[in-house]
Every structure is written in C-alpha cells, then in structure tokens.
C-alpha cells in the first residue's frame, strides 16, 4: 500500500473522552463479578429466573428463533465461562454443593445435610428483603449453613457480618462461629471466629483470614439443638475500594474508560435510583432482565468507580411513562390506546410498575437524582449524600434521557419529555449536559425532534457503526448548531463492533458459524473495534465520547473480566486500552484515500497533541502480511527509525482467558524514514501505532 499525506486535517481535534465504556446493572453479572461482596444471594431471597431476553443475549438457546428450543443450563461449556459466573448454593453443613446448573426452577438452596441432622430453608420474614433463612441443627457436632466459592488471598482480612434471630438457643452450651474451610472439606476449618449472637436479628460481626490462596467454603456453625433465622449476610475483603474488588479497579485503570455510562441500557428504563443509595438496600427482581438485583452497587459506588479508574460518569435516566406500568414494548400503531387496556397486543413484562407511570413525577425524581449527585450541603440531596458518606459533590456532568425510547414514546412525545426533564434537572444544576436519543426514528423525524428540544439538550445519544449514518447525523447537528449558535455534540452511548470485515464477523446472522457471545471475545472482534474507533477519530471533537458495550463480565461482551482469582483484559479490552492511551490528537487527510470498515488493511495518520510528531495507525485484519509506504514529504520529518507499539493475535479466533493471554502487546518492528518516505510493516492480524518525530 502506497500513500501520500497532505497537510489538511479531517476535522477538529479528537475528543479526549472518545474511548469510553458502559456498565449495565442486572445484565450479564457485570457488577456482581466486580463487586467486593462474596456471597451469592446474601439476603436469602427465592431465586428469580432470568427472562427470555436475557437468555437470548447470553446465547443460551440452541435456536434463538425458536423460544421453545433447548436452553443450556451448564454455563461451563462456554469459552467465556469463569468463576464469577457461578451461582453458589446455600447448603446445610456439613456437606458440599458442587456446580449448580442455572434453570428456571433452580432454588440454589440444598436443604438437608447428607451426613448430619441439619436442615435449612428459605422462609418469609427477616429484616432485608422479604425472606430469611431458617437453620435447624439437631446433630451432635458442628453444623449449620454454608456456601462454597469464596476465593480468598493470604494477607487480606475478610469481614463477615449478618443478622441472626434465635428461635431456640440449643442445649450444648456451645456458641456460634463463623468459619472458613477448604472447599469440598467438612473438617478442620482453616479459621474460626466466635459470634456474639444476641437474637432479635441483632447484627453479628467477625474477621476471617486464610493462610493460602484458594477456594474456600464459608460456614455459619450453630450449637446442637438450635434453631435460628438469618438475614442480611455480607462477606467482603478489607482491601475493597468503594464496594468493588481491588482487582476490578486495577483492571478498570488499565482499560481507562473516559466516560462510563450506567445503570443501563434497558435496565435503566425500570430503575429507581433511590433503591441503590443508603444503608438499607432491599434486594429485588431485575425488572427487564430477570434474576437477582441486589442494589449493593448503586449511585455512590458507580460514580466512585468511575473516579477511581480516572473517568467520568454518564447516567442514563428512567423517563417515566404510562406504558411502562405494564409493558416492555408497545408497537407505535397502539400509542393512542389506553395504557391500562389489557388487550393491547404488546410485550407485557408481567408486573404492575405504577411507580413509573407519571412523567411529571419522573422529572422530579430525575432532578432529585441530579441534586443527590451534584448538590452542595445546603440542599436536601447533598445532605442525603453526605449522610451516606460523601460530602463533596460528584459533579456528574452527562445525563442521557432513557434507552430505546421507541418502546413507549412517539418521537414528538419523547422530544417534549426531554424538554420537561431538562428544565427540571437543569434547574438544580445548569451545568449538566443532557443527551437526547437519536437512533430510534428517521432523519427527518430527528430534525423535527431537534427543533422541539434542541434548546434544552447538549448531545445526541446515538448507536450504530456505519459511517454514512454517522455523517448524515453529524450534518443534521452541524446545520442546527450553525442556525442556532449552539455546540451540540454527537455521542454513541452503546455500540458493538459485530458485523465487520472478516470471515467471522461479516456474515449474515443466518449463516454465522459461531454465536455472538463466541465472537465477542475473539481477536476478530477487537480488530473490528479498531476500525470503528479510527472512523470516529476522523470526525473530531463533535464526536465527544463512544461507550463500548460493555465494561465487564457480560458473557465476553466486555473489555475486562473479573473471575474470583483476579482479572484479565479481553481482546477488545486491549484494543480499547490502546485507543484510550493513543498519542493521536488530530487526524490528517491522505491524498485520494479514505479508510473503510471493510478494508483488510486500514491506515490513519494523525498529529500528536503538541504538533511535534505524527502518529501512524496501521490495522491489518487480513491473514497475510503487508507493508505500508507513506509519503510524508509535506512535513519536516526526522530521518531514521520510527518506533511503535503493536497488538497482535495468532488467529482471528484468538482470545484471552485467565492465565492464557493469546493477544500480545509489545514493541512494533521498526519503521524506516528515508527521503521523506516512511515504510512500516503491517503484520497479519495486527494493529500498530508509530510515532514519527518532526524536525526541530
């Protein structure tokens, strides 16, 4: 490939926030694997099955076009599986649980010990949620309640707390103890701590530590002849950071997302932010995705995580609507029907969520959320935040107006609702930036929406990865900005690079040889992501930030994975790390050349931030080695060696796993500058970044 650089720029400088990410609660066990909490179902609620939409996105069905087809219940068969996807059962101790398959009828409770007269069972009542655990010990020795799957490290203290009500104290005079055993053993605990049990669901606490790294079983040991009720358990390492595992923060710092979108996604459309703040958070059903929603990770934890990894937050706001009371989705031809009409042929979610039906109430709740995040101590929200441990305002800048709003709103109604919410929210903090969804309706409709709401919004919240679609929407934005003297930006708040330009990604879904979750983790997917990121770079800072979907633990649809043993960065995560740390600051036009997402070899030339050097990116998605020759005589370039960094994988289907890193990053083979011409290799299945110094 021979090219010639010009001295023209494609656009303005690349936004420093471009490489960003996305966390969705309730989907894919994202925060569960990142969180410091070690218990599964720590409040002993009946297990809520995952909904069909979740199973489809997890690729669990043999045929997603046939909802009656077999659903895989043993997740260990998938290449994305690791320990944080476990659903550890509570079991009567002594005993063991083993692997638990994930079925609609799973309880994740093993009620009887196989070798002693000990029984457990979930009962109504308790102090956190709607249920508690009953433990009856009629054996002559140690017995009680246990859960496997606690991966512990030496040198770290593990803090246990829980609430216990004593129904019958027992006859042996022996007390209550918290203990850790080597997993799959029932004798000789590695550590034991006494518990001061007073009853009446009073809190008990203990500190535990282990001598060796590995998997352990937690056990609550009870006296012979006793009967108790348990609730609101917790087991966390003392080196946790803001509710997250230390390793999850370390992994986030490596990927370095600039803006993290949360709490969804589809989850956000049925989220009450108040459920995730304060000390007493009730576990509940995850309305859109199904399964447990613990609420241990909420506003304070998510904003603090973004801060800890060097990023900002963007909150996706639930816009209340009468249709949300009963429906996941209503076809637009029925938008004029009474939302309470049970005969609307629409997708019902099976619950009565009347708390999300009043739009004006929703606007007030969104404003209260802004005040909680950004208000000072003279405000009610600021005082509430301080009472929860944070006096300094979070100053969350970006707020997106819901997700996939075509499910409930017409275009006109949505634009007007954006105005209502923006007025309420900016009355609390006029510095915040409001994002209006731009992917649900046609281009002409989008222009109409801008005319209705443009004065009250600050950015498009878009999706999609096609450059023609991007350019058309940027044209609409620029025309509006020029007409009104505004500076509205484009953001893509949820994107997947799937359907790119190789033999795995670029095929119709009906012909795909592998399911999407298989492809998400592979090097082909990461190479496709690089082509997309280069496209967005070319359009300058009108493209503000781009949220890769997702951050963690989404059945490999992620940039980092956090098994209990530590963490690893996925193929896509290594690519996003490279773009988060790029030296490219402004892209330069190349004569008679425009990279396409379908090109096997793509090149992009940029200037660094201070203009002292050029930055060359070379993407080779083909399985053949190549070479790039680019004429840089338009610039004063220093002769000699050009050095760079390269990401490469051996095969399109290479992937990273814990202790198996198949994608490597290291020094690129040197390029040579001679007579103003730069020659660099373009190895097969690689992405490179070279820095070429200017004279002087």
DSSP string, 619-658: EE-SSS-EEEEEE-TTS-B--EEEEEEEEEESSTT--EET
Please write the tens of the pLDDT for every residue from 274-288. Answer: 999 999 899 999 999
Averaged pLDDT, 426-433: 98
pLDDT in tens, 342-377: 789 999 999 999 999 999 999 999 999 999 999 999
Say how many C-beta atoms besides its own lie within 10 A of residue 277's C-beta: 18
Give domain limits for the chain: 2-15+586-693, 19-26+240-580, 40-237
Name residue, tokens 């320990």. Answer: 83
Q: Name the residue with tokens 């600051």.
A: 585
Q: How confident is the model at residue 505 (pLDDT cuts 50, 70, 90)?
A: low
Task: Dump pLDDT digits (tens) for 197-238.
Answer: 999 999 999 999 999 999 999 999 999 999 999 999 999 999
The yes-or-no verdict on residue 160 having pLDDT over 70 is: yes
Cis previous bond, 360, omega within 30: no
| Fold for the domain defined by 40-237 | Jelly Rolls (2.60.120)
pLDDT at 376: 97
Q: Which residues pair with 285 in a beta bridge?
A: 292
CATH number for the region 2-15+586-693 comes to 2.60.40.1180
Average predicted confidence (pLDDT) for the chain: 95
Where do we find the tokens 């104290």?
169
- For the sheet with 214-222, list strands across it: 109-110, 90-93, 143-152, 214-222, 176-182, 191-195
**Angle at CA 127, nearest 5°, toward 125 and 128?**
100
Q: Could you read off the pLDDT of 376-391 as tens digits, one per residue?
A: 999 999 999 999 999 9
Write out the two tokens for 549.
């979907």
Q: Which stretches within 522-671 are classed as H helix?
A: 523-537, 571-580
Q: Which CATH code is given to the segment(s) 19-26+240-580?
A: 3.20.20.80
Q: What per-residue confidence (pLDDT) applies to 63? A: 83
How far apart (Å, rounded) are the C-alpha atoms in residues 132 and 4? 71
The whole-number pLDDT of residue 64 equals: 80
What are all long-range contacts of 202-207, with beta carbons under 8 Å and residues at least 24 apart?
202/163, 202/164, 203/161, 203/162, 203/163, 204/161, 204/162, 204/163, 204/164, 204/176, 205/159, 205/160, 205/161, 206/159, 206/160, 206/161, 206/178, 207/157, 207/158, 207/159, 207/160
d(CA 140, CA 481): 78
> How do residues 291-335 score in pLDDT, each as one tens digit?
989 899 999 999 999 999 999 999 999 999 999 999 999 999 999
pTM reported for the whole predicted model: 0.96
The whole-number average pLDDT for the span 7-31 is: 96
The terminus-to-terminus CA distance of the chain in angstroms comes to 29
pLDDT of res. 52: 94
Q: How many angstroms from the chain centroid is the CA of residue 452?
A: 32
For 351, phi then psi, to 5°, come to: -135, 165
């Amino acid at each position: 490939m021979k090219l010639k650089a010009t001295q023209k720029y494609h656009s303005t400088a690349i936004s420093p926030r471009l490489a960003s990410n996305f966390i969705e609660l309730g989907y894919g066990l994202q925060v569960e694997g990142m969180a410091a909490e070690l218990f599964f179902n720590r409040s002993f609620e009946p297990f809520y099955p995952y909904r069909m939409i979740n199973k489809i996105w997890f690729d669990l069905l043999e045929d997603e076009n046939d909802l009656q087809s077999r659903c895989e219940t043993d997740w260990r068969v998938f290449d994305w599986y690791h320990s944080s996807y476990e659903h550890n059962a509570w079991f009567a101790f002594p005993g063991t649980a083993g692997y638990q398959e994930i079925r609609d009828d799973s309880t994740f409770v093993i009620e009887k010990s196989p070798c002693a007269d000990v029984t457990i069972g979930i009962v109504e009542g308790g102090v956190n949620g709607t249920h508690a655990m009953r433990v009856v010990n009629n054996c002559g020795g140690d017995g009680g309640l246990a859960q496997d799957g606690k991966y512990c490290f030496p040198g770290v203290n593990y803090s246990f707390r829980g609430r216990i009500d004593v129904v019958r104290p027992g006859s042996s005079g022996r007390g209550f103890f918290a203990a850790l055993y080597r997993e799959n053993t029932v004798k000789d605990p590695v550590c034991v701590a006494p518990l001061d049990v007073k009853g009446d669901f009073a809190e008990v606490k203990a500190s535990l530590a282990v001598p060796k790294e590995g998997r352990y079983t937690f056990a609550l040991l009870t006296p012979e002849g006793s009967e108790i009720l348990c609730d609101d358990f917790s087991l966390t390492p003392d080196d946790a950071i803001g509710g997250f595992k230390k390793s999850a923060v370390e992994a986030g710092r490596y990927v370095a997302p600039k803006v993290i979108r949360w709490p969804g996604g589809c989850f956000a459309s049925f989220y009450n932010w108040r459920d995730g703040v304060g000390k007493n958070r009730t576990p509940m059903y995850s309305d859109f995705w199904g399964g447990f929603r613990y609420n241990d990770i909420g506003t304070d934890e998510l904003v603090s995580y973004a801060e800890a990894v060097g990023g900002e937050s963007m909150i996706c706001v639930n816009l209340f609507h009468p249709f949300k009371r009963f429906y996941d989705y209503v076809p637009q031809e029925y938008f004029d029907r009474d939302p309470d009409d049970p005969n609307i042929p629409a997708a019902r979610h099976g619950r009565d969520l009347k708390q999300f039906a009043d739009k004006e109430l929703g606007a007030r709740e969104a404003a209260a959320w802004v005040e909680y995040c950004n208000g000072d101590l003279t405000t009610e929200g600021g005082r509430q935040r301080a009472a929860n441990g944070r006096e300094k305002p979070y100053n969350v800048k970006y707020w997106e107006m819901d997700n996939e709003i075509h499910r409930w709103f017409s275009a006109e109604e949505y634009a007007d609702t954006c105005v209502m919410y923006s007025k309420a929210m900016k009355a609390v903090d006029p510095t915040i930036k409001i994002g209006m969804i731009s992917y649900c309706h046609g281009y002409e409709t989008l222009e109409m929406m801008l005319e209705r709401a443009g004065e009250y919004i600050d950015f498009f919240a878009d999706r999609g990865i096609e450059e023609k679609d991007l350019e058309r929407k940027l044209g609409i934005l620029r025309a509006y900005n020029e007409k009104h003297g505004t500076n509205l930006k484009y953001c893509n708040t949820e994107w997947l690079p799937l359907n790119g330009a190789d033999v795995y990604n670029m095929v119709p879904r009906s012909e795909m040889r592998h399911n999407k979750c298989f492809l998400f983790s592979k090097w082909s997917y990461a190479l496709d992501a690089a082509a997309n990121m280069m496209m967005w770079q070319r359009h300058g800072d009108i493209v503000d930030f781009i949220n890769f979907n997702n951050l963690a633990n989404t059945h490999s649809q992620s940039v980092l994975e956090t098994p209990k043993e530590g963490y690893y960065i996925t193929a896509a995560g290594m690519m996003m790390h490279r773009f988060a740390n790029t030296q490219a600051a402004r892209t330069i036009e190349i004569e008679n050349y425009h990279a396409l997402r379908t090109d096997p070899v793509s090149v992009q030339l940029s200037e660094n931030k201070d203009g002292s050097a050029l930055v060359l990116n070379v993407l080779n998605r083909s399985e053949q080695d190549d070479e790039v020759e680019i004429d840089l005589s338009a610039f004063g370039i220093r002769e000699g060696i050009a050095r760079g960094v390269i990401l490469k994988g051996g095969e399109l289907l290479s992937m990273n796993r814990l202790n198996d890193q198949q994608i490597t990053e290291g020094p690129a083979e040197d390029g040579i500058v001679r007579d103003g011409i730069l020659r660099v290799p373009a190895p097969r299945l690689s992405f490179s970044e070279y820095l070429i110094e200017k004279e002087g």
